[in-house]
Amino acid sequence: FDAVRERLEDAHYEPVVVTDLEPYSVVIDKYDEHAEILKRSVATWQRRGRRFFLMKSDLAVKEAVKRGAKRVGDTDFVVGI
């Protein structure tokens, strides 16, 4: 990870390490429309009839919620495998 961070910093990026993923995670029903949510996510997985997304930013989370997703923190689910 240090090498990646160094390359990003050399290219004038300021990477931020995020250790708590829950604020960036949303969930929808498995068969709900999700193409626009997927575009703004960095990871997705399925469990118990739901589709989970790890979003790129706070703004991406807000947009996903506008499209019907729920913040994982507002549900009985937890982030993890």
Residue 8, domain member (yes or no): no
**Residue 39 belongs to a domain:** yes
pLDDT digits (tens, 9 = 90+) for 34-59: 999 999 999 999 999 999 999 999 99
Whether pLDDT at 81 is above 70: no
Contact by Cβ (8 Å): 27, 70 = yes
> What gap in Å lies between CA 75 and CA 29, rounded to an integer?
12
- pLDDT for res 1: 79
What domain count does the chain have? 1
Containing structural domain, residue 49 = 20-81
In a domain, 62, yes or no: yes
Q: Could you write out the DSSP letters of every residue in 18-69?
A: ----GGGEEEEETTS--HHHHHTEEEEEEETTEEEEEESSHHHHHHHHHTT-
**Distances in Å between the alpha carbon of 36 and those of 40, 46, 69?**
7, 17, 11
Is position 13 within any domain? no
Question: Is 14 part of any domain?
Answer: no
